[in-house]
Structure 1
Amino acid sequence: MHIERLYRWSSVYSARLTQQELWTVCPLLSLNQHQPGLQTGDMRLAGGKRSHEGRVEVYIAGVWGTVCDDGWDIKEAIVVCRHLNFPSAREAVDGGRYGPGQGPIYLDELNCLGTETDLTKCESSGLGISDCKHAEDAGVVCASGKMCHSTTISGFLGELFESGRDCDLILSVVVENSTVETICAHKLILSLVPSWSSEANLSIEVSSKCQPHWLIEPFRYLYTGRMNITMTSSHCLHKLASEWGLKALQEEVGKLLILLLPEDATFQAQSSLFDYAVSMDDGALQQSCLRYMAWNCEALVASPAWTGLSVHAIKGLLSRTDLTVPSEYFVIQALEKWEDAQGKALGSGDQFDLLKLIRFPMVSAEDLNRLKDSRYQAGKLEGFQFNALTIGNLFGELMSNWKSYTPRIYTGKPWSYTFTSEEVSVFKKTSLYPKGLNHGELAFTFRTPVHNSAYFALFGDIGWYTRLFVKSDECSYSSTRVCPSAKLSLENGNSALPELYKNAIVYKNKIVIRCDGRYVSHIQDFKHPQEDTTIQPNHGSGQVYPCRSDEYSYTMVIRPKYRTGLNYTEVEEE
């Protein structure tokens, strides 16, 4: 039995036709009266009292089977409901509600992104590999209200497109003045494209970077509302959607591009995507690329892609407060590495602009002393002043140049503590954490300076208590009562620190979440220092980048800042 598997590079995008588009294509039922046959991956609902709910059954090689509810949640339900052309999913149902099914249990331990076209495209324990019984058969409740029997329409139109029957429009795909592909289409369907011409035969000129077979996907989307997109084809399809005026498709491809960013550990794809976003003047896509590269800056700097980044990209990264790095000195070293690779191609004006983006006050006094190049003299002076003077003496600078005095997300010692993904996994199984304070607690205490300024070394350091709640039986002890949750709080005050300075310092702490310890998938604020914070790294709207393994490391980052303004009202970060 041959089952096509979806490799990591090939994430699948599934989009539904809008209601206006469906109203347009409903009459096309008359174009094709042949019911398309069942295909591997097709699904149906059984055992429910209503048409939009039931036990999920999957069709594989002529046999219907079921799905185990291990790992079953709303993302898997969304895949099922959209495949069946319901608007969305309301509930992922564990086994039992809709009764046991029959036949093989095809899928177990599913981990979908929610964008796949069917469940066989999701990660799982493997086709037919399951230790479940039919009492654990998963179900769904979909949002009711199918539009115009769109499952049937999608099947009819998909077969019509693939067969090429009754087409009245020939499209020639032209690359460098040579026709490399022809597509047989139908004027009525293509009339959905705002910019489309009514001519009988048309040619589409595309860049040589666009593979001819990629061009079939946008047309398949017009017929079925679905298309396959890979990282390598995404730029081409995004550009075509823009040129053809398919704004909804362009936006959805852009969203998928963001989900695909973690797939390339070399950062070549992210760099290329940023340059493409600049060429398209797509500010939102630019910022999405910069955010991923900023959060994963340490890995980016170590990659071959770092020295190939444009000046525009480097300026964008160095401007960000969410740049996640071991220290500000690391940023200086990374910039030097990039500048050396540019050689004489880097103009003095750009070099000066980049230097202004270094936050010298955030460089430790020891590291400032290591900077010997004369171009650093002004920055070193600014840094040494920060380390030697009190807030009263620095007030004017803090107000006029506050960003230079705002820490980025520094993950190096002594400003952070990490629970590794291995430690979290062991604790979930055994309740053991050898570094911890008490048995059965994933908790630790660590100490940091009071502030980045060396001036505060006179008053000693302060202690922090952090704890992760990752097991259901312990989450009742968290104030959020939700798993996973995290606590990060001052263990005790610092009696040696004058009251004036206690009031002048605020902590804007973060939790950095890495997928399987490899890449940063999410960063959250600790908004209330004495309260627990709910962490939802891969469930719901809080997720930024997907994590297929569902294994995470958690880094608690301490970020002290001076309060500024009248009555110490803090200036907000950009």
Structure 2
Amino acid sequence: MGSSTLWTTAPASSTRSKAPGLCPGSSCPTATAPWGKDKGLPGKAMAPLRLVWMWLLVAGTQGVKDGDMRLADGGSSNEGRVEIYYSGQWGTVCENMWDLTDASVVCRALGFQNATEALGGAAFGPETRGVYTLDLSGELPAALEQIFESQKGCDLFIRVKVREEDELAICAHKLILSTNPEAHGLWKEPGSRVTMEVDAECVPTVKDFIRYLYSRRIDVSLSSVKCLHKLASAYQAEQLQSYCGHLFAILIPQDPSFRTPLELYAYALATRDPVLEEICVQFLAWNFGALTQAEAWLSVPPGLLQDLLSRTELVVPSELVLLRAVDEWSRERSTSHKEVEGLVEKVRFPMMPPRDLFSLQFNLSLYWSHEALLQKKILQALEFHTVPFELLAQYWGLNLTEDAYQPRLYTSPTWSESVMSSSYSPYRSFQTPQHPSFLFQASSVSWSLVYLPTLQSCWNYGFSCSSDDPPLLALSKSSYSSPTIGYENRALLHCEGSFVADVIDFKGWKALIPSALGTNSSRSTSLFPCPAGFFSRFQVVIRPFYLTNSTGMD
């Protein structure tokens, strides 16, 4: 279902600047220092606190070299505008959160005790020579990662334990972690020691997590997203937690074995995360036919299978294929009698033609162990196929809006047709039965399907589209159908032929196609983004149902 993808995030950038036109130059912040330890004169300074801390850690103090600071244009040697030497030039640095704390750090770095005042608004005038803004934001993440990787000069020691057993020891630097709000959940109490309790599978990810707290950037992949989300949740790294949550829908389709969505489903249940749970179930429902062919099919838990079989938007070739898959699942798992009965109750027997219903007694292994239930279901289905629905409602009181009488998303040629997005002529005409009931076996409905990528293509095929409509699918019915039958048709959006990325409704004759990657701001994005940037195939599924009142859908 696509190649592995690495996602990089830096959700908490430490670089700040003023509005365009204010920086670099005269508006850089300034500060006043109290009596110096040598001169006894007031001093002034300017520079961002975080930048200075990083400068102290990375650059050091080595004469007039990159990273050195000075005070310029002040009334004395201990006051002025802060400038930093970089690439042979002295330049100013702008900061929009300049305060007395920042100024104090600068003053102490330059040999003074403290700062008494922080001034803004170019109090010491503009820089009249060549002015450069020093922006180390691109270099700092790598430099901070190097500090972490060195494991030297630490004052915080982290023990990583799995079930009370030590697995890993890491050392860190309080000064750096204290500047990152996302690290506060890890280092809650004063002291030099921290213990992290993690699952065994997440031990290899712990160093990546701590490194992220230094550099505020991290690479997230299919193999690491669950553990990073788990660590971020446990230690209140909310931005990383949110980012990983956003990536679940992007990364899940990358695993053609279906093991990842099944693992994440179990994780969602364990952590009581309904959003992640629904993402997993939705992906498995839209790709149910492929799931039943995968090795992971037999490891689907009973509760999840119950949920899947309850859904109308379940993509499968036919109801018979679904029942056979359930039969295999129950046989290989040695499932209890009660569990199997619960699953059989979810099967929509009226959606199987009489020929398939008759064959069940010969090719379904669970038939004889659940004979009474299956015979009851088959009789119910045969009545649906042979008795007009008005009589069923009148004499049996059947509610034909129940799930058992509603078709799922059947992808067999009987009920569906496809067009390729790359086709020179993306037009198809096809026929389907009027209705699943055997009463309509002799009559069919003709349909026309066309993919309309542009406004010009709408005009070419005789459709009236607005400029906001394309790309879209157009579906029209070109023959008579019974007034007692309505249609709720759907379109499946296939990504690279490997997975169903979304399912869309037809509003009248048209279905607007969402953006495959979210690059079109005026369009909604498919639930599962398509890495290729476009959908390779569009498959229309016809879904007839009985109209039980005078209003209809067509």
- Fold shared per TM-score above 0.5: yes
Q: Is the 8 A contact 2:187 2:194 kept in 1?
A: no
Query: Once the two structures are superposed, what CA deviation does each residue of 1:409-443 show, in whole Å capped at 9, x if it has no partner?
Result: 001121111124xxx43x3xxx3xxxxxxxxx421
Report what 2:446 is aligned to: 463
Report what 2:227 is aligned to: 236
Report what 2:496 is aligned to: 516
In structure 2, how many angstroms separate the alpha carbons of the residues matched to 1:21 and 1:311? 52
- Work out which of the residue numbers 321, 324, 335 in structure 1 matches 2:312: 321
Give the direction of change, closer, same or farther, for the CA distance of 1:18–1:190 in structure 2 (3 Å limit): closer
Secondary structure, aligned partner of 1:178? strand
Give, as a single letter, the amino acid of the residue that structure 1 aligns with 2:50: L
Give the direction of change, closer, same or farther, for the CA distance of 1:367–1:184 in structure 2 (3 Å limit): same
Report what 1:525 is aligned to: 505
Query: Once the two structures are superposed, what CA deviation does each residue of 1:415-473 show, in whole Å capped at 9, x if it has no partner?
Result: 111124xxx43x3xxx3xxxxxxxxx421211111111111235x11110111124675
Give the direction of change, closer, same or farther, for the CA distance of 1:261–1:191 in structure 2 (3 Å limit): closer
Report what 2:84 is aligned to: none
Secondary structure, aligned partner of 2:516? coil
Shift of 1:252: 2.2
Report what 2:405 is aligned to: 405
Q: Is the 8 A contact 1:416 1:557 kept in 2?
A: yes
- Work out which of the residue numbers 27, 30, 36 in structure 1 matches 2:49: 27
For structure 2, the residue ranges without an aligned partner over 5 or more in a row are 18-47, 60-134, 362-366
Give, as a single letter, the amino acid of the residue that structure 1 aligns with 2:267: Y
In structure 2, how many angstroms separate the alpha carbons of the residues matched to 1:18 and 1:393? 69
1:449 lines up with 2:413 in the alignment: no
Give, as a single letter, the amino acid of the residue that structure 2 aligns with 1:233: S
Shift of 1:246: 3.0
1:208 lines up with 2:200 in the alignment: yes
Report what 1:47 is aligned to: none
Q: Is the 8 A contact 1:328 1:363 kept in 2?
A: yes
Q: How does 1:218-367 map to 2 (within 5 A)?
A: 218-343=209-334, 346-367=335-356
Give the direction of change, closer, same or farther, for the CA distance of 1:202–1:483 in structure 2 (3 Å limit): same
In structure 2, how many angstroms separate the alpha carbons of the residues matched to 1:472 and 1:162? 56
In structure 2, how many angstroms separate the alpha carbons of the residues matched to 1:391 and 1:150? 70
In structure 1, how many angstroms separate the alpha carbons of the residues matched to 2:401 and 2:376? 14
Q: Is the 8 A contact 2:502 2:528 kept in 1?
A: yes
Report what 1:44 is aligned to: none
Give the direction of change, closer, same or farther, for the CA distance of 1:475–1:183 in structure 2 (3 Å limit): farther
Shift of 1:309: 1.1
Q: Is the 8 A contact 2:265 2:281 kept in 1?
A: yes
In structure 1, how many angstroms separate the alpha carbons of the residues matched to 2:15 and 2:375? 63
Normalising by structure 1, what TM-score? Answer: 0.67
Secondary structure, aligned partner of 1:466? strand
RMSD: 3.1
Aligned identity (percent) is: 27
Q: Is the 8 A contact 1:274 1:285 kept in 2?
A: yes
Report what 2:537 is aligned to: 553
Q: Is the 8 A contact 1:171 1:185 kept in 2?
A: no
Shift of 1:391: 2.6
Give the direction of change, closer, same or farther, for the CA distance of 1:534–1:294 in structure 2 (3 Å limit): closer
Q: Is the 8 A contact 1:386 1:453 kept in 2?
A: yes
Report what 1:188 is aligned to: 178
Q: How does 1:149-188 map to 2 (within 5 A)?
A: 161-162=148-149, 167-175=154-162, 177-186=165-174, 187-188=177-178
In structure 2, how many angstroms separate the alpha carbons of the residues matched to 1:509 and 1:34? 65
Secondary structure, aligned partner of 2:224? helix
Give the direction of change, closer, same or farther, for the CA distance of 1:173–1:275 in structure 2 (3 Å limit): same
Secondary structure, aligned partner of 2:507? coil
Q: Is the 8 A contact 1:174 1:181 kept in 2?
A: no
Give the direction of change, closer, same or farther, for the CA distance of 1:174–1:404 in structure 2 (3 Å limit): same
Q: Is the 8 A contact 1:29 1:153 kept in 2?
A: no
Give the direction of change, closer, same or farther, for the CA distance of 1:223–1:352 in structure 2 (3 Å limit): same
Report what 1:491 is aligned to: 478
In structure 2, how many angstroms separate the alpha carbons of the residues matched to 1:162 and 1:195? 18
Q: Is the 8 A contact 2:317 2:412 kept in 1?
A: yes
Q: Is the 8 A contact 1:417 1:556 kept in 2?
A: yes
Report what 1:74 is aligned to: none
Report what 1:43 is aligned to: none
Give the direction of change, closer, same or farther, for the CA distance of 1:446–1:34 in structure 2 (3 Å limit): farther
Shift of 1:516: 1.7
In structure 2, how many angstroms separate the alpha carbons of the residues matched to 1:36 and 1:465? 67
Shift of 1:19: 9.8
In structure 2, how many angstroms separate the alpha carbons of the residues matched to 1:342 and 1:559? 33
Shift of 1:209: 1.1
Q: Which one has a bigger Cα radius of gyration?
A: 2
In structure 1, how many angstroms separate the alpha carbons of the residues matched to 2:516 and 2:149? 40
Report the number of matched residues: 422
Q: Is the 8 A contact 2:504 2:513 kept in 1?
A: no
Q: Is the 8 A contact 2:155 2:171 kept in 1?
A: no
Q: Is the 8 A contact 2:491 2:505 kept in 1?
A: yes
Once the two structures are overlaid, the 10-residue window that deviates more, 332-341 or 367-376, is: 367-376
Report what 2:384 is aligned to: 386
Q: Is the 8 A contact 1:15 1:226 kept in 2?
A: yes
Shift of 1:20: 13
In structure 2, how many angstroms separate the alpha carbons of the residues matched to 1:153 and 1:402? 61
Give the direction of change, closer, same or farther, for the CA distance of 1:241–1:35 in structure 2 (3 Å limit): closer
For structure 1, the residue ranges without an aligned partner over 5 or more in a row are 1-6, 38-147, 432-440
Give the direction of change, closer, same or farther, for the CA distance of 1:524–1:18 in structure 2 (3 Å limit): farther
In structure 2, how many angstroms separate the alpha carbons of the residues matched to 1:361 and 1:489? 27
Give, as a single letter, the amino acid of the residue that structure 2 aligns with 1:182: I
Secondary structure, aligned partner of 2:375? helix
Secondary structure, aligned partner of 1:465? strand
Give, as a single letter, the amino acid of the residue that structure 2 aligns with 1:519: F
In structure 2, how many angstroms separate the alpha carbons of the residues matched to 1:251 and 1:538? 19
Q: Is the 8 A contact 1:364 1:452 kept in 2?
A: yes
In structure 2, how many angstroms separate the alpha carbons of the residues matched to 1:19 and 1:361? 62
Shift of 1:296: 1.1
Q: Is the 8 A contact 1:362 1:452 kept in 2?
A: yes
Give the direction of change, closer, same or farther, for the CA distance of 1:195–1:225 in structure 2 (3 Å limit): closer
In structure 1, how many angstroms separate the alpha carbons of the residues matched to 2:194 and 2:15? 26
